[in-house]
Structure formats: structure tokens, C-alpha cells
């Protein structure tokens, strides 16, 4: 099994930490975010990881090297210009000749998703792209008022709205990667839309296991605190 991990972002919402180090190397507890993700990929049989790097790439390459000490083969695909979230997938595919279905994900995720089951779902659906999706409950922190004209019909305190969210984890069949324009800034929603227009199957893999996206300093502090209590 192979995986492309998008590790080239600037990490602006984690500044000032990311002035010194790239976001994938920011520690959560005793390990960098990306090391935690790589360990979980290895558990599910991933043998080759292609790190799409850009900002402070040399620090990531120095830390992970060839991946031997993590039990995996790590390869590096460097962006010379910003390529968005889908562009690096095309770059890595073309650079390394990847011909298998590949997992694609952001480097700032901590998750216990079963990657093996996701790949089985993708293959079983004969999908071009499978999107990892998860339930997200959004609590409105106020009483929500419903009216008919000037008459109040109900007030509901702190209602919860449930959504299915894109978790930034994908299984991608090799042939569909041709829809990504080479060398262009291109994003995953645009890639998925292009596949839909081409009449290809886009499936969803719903999971309930742990998933945290370390987007800002608040997320980092919260997750570090959780690890300290485990």
C-alpha cells in the first residue's frame, strides 16, 4: 500500500511555531504530528510514503530521511511553486511512476482511521476517488428562535446540527490522476468535481475512529493536553 502525504504548507495558523519549523514537525506530546501519522500508516501495511514537501522541506527530509527507522520507505516530492492540495498528487505520480491506488492525506491529521478498510471500500465500489468522511456535531451556543411573522413559535436552547465532513483523507485510483493539470495550482474539491463531470464514481468511507485536524494553536494545545491525560 502506498500513501501521498501533503506536507508542504506554510502552517500560518500555527505561527509563531512555524516560523522556525514546518507544521508537520510541530510536536504533539513527544512526537511530531507527521511521525504520529506515519506510525499509523505503517500499522495498516503502508510500505511507501511520498511526502509532498515545500516550506522548510530540508528540515522534514533531515528528520525522516529514507524512513528506515520508521519501518517504511519515504520518498520526497518537492514543490517549486504552490500546487494546492491536488497538484502535488499529480507531481508525485509523475515523478515516481505510481501505478497503484494510493492513499492521499494532509500531514496535520492525527487519526485512528482503519486505512485497510478504507482501501477495501474503495476497491469494492470500483471508485475513482473515495473520501474519508466523519460525523461532526455543531452546537449553536444560543437559544435558536423560530417565528411566524412577529409571533415566536419555539425557542430551542443550544441545538445541535449534525453534518458529514471531509476529513482530508482520500483513496485515489491511478488513472483519475490524469484529470489534475500538471504544474498548476489545483485543489481536491476541484479534482473531485472534475471526476464527477467525467462520470466517475466518487464514494464515501464513513468512519467513527479518532480524527483530529491540528489547524491552529488551540487544536495543538487541546490535543497535547489529551495525550498528557492518557
What is the model's pTM?
Answer: 0.85
* Rounded CA separation 36/210 (Å): 13
**Range name among 2-11, 128-137, 208-217 with the lowest pLDDT average:** 208-217
More confident site: 224 or 197: 197
Class assignment of domain 2-133+165-229? alpha beta
**Which pLDDT does position 82 carry in this prediction?**
87
What is the tens place of the pLDDT at every residue in 167-212? 999 999 999 999 999 989 999 999 999 999 999 999 999 999 998 8
How is the chain split into domains, by residue range? 2-133+165-229
Determine what percent of the chain is predicted with pLDDT higher than 90: 68
Which residues, including other chains, have CB under 8 Å from residue 41's CB and lie 6 or more apart?
Answer: 3, 49, 72, 103, 115
* Rounded CA separation 45/43 (Å): 6
Amino acid at each position: 500500500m502506498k500513501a501521498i502525504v501533503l506536507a508542504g504548507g506554510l502552517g500560518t495558523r500555527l505561527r509563531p511555531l512555524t516560523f522556525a519549523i514546518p507544521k508537520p514537525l510541530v510536536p504533539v506530546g513527544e512526537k511530531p504530528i507527521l511521525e504520529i501519522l506515519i506510525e499509523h500508516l505503517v500499522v495498516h501495511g503502508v510500505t511507501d510514503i511520498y511526502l509532498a514537501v515545500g516550506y522548510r522541506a530540508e528540515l522534514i527530509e533531515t528528520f525522516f530521511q529514507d524512513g528506515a527507522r520508521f519501518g517504511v520507505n519515504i520518498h520526497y516530492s518537492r514543490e517549486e511553486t504552490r500546487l494546492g492540495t491536488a497538484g502535488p498528487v499529480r507531481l508525485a505520480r509523475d515523478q515516481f511512476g505510481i501505478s497503484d491506488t494510493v492513499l492521499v492525506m494532509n500531514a496535520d491529521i492525527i487519526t485512528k482511521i482503519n486505512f485497510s478498510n478504507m482501501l477495501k471500500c474503495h476497491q469494492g465500489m470500483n471508485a475513482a476517488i473515495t473520501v474519508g468522511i466523519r460525523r461532526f456535531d455543531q452546537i449553536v451556543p444560543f437559544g435558536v428562535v423560530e417565528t411566524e411573522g412577529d409571533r415566536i413559535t419555539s425557542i430551542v436552547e443550544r441545538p445541535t446540527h449534525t453534518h458529514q465532513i471531509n476529513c482530508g483523507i482520500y483513496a485515489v485510483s491511478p488513472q483519475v490522476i490524469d484529470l489534475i493539470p500538471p504544474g498548476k495550482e489545483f485543489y481536491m474539491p476541484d479534482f473531485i468535481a472534475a471526476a464527477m463531470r467525467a462520470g466517475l464514481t466518487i464514494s464515501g468511507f464513513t468512519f467513527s475512529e479518532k480524527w483530529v485536524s491540528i489547524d491552529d494553536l488551540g487544536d495543538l494545545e487541546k490535543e497535547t493536553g489529551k495525550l498528557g491525560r492518557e
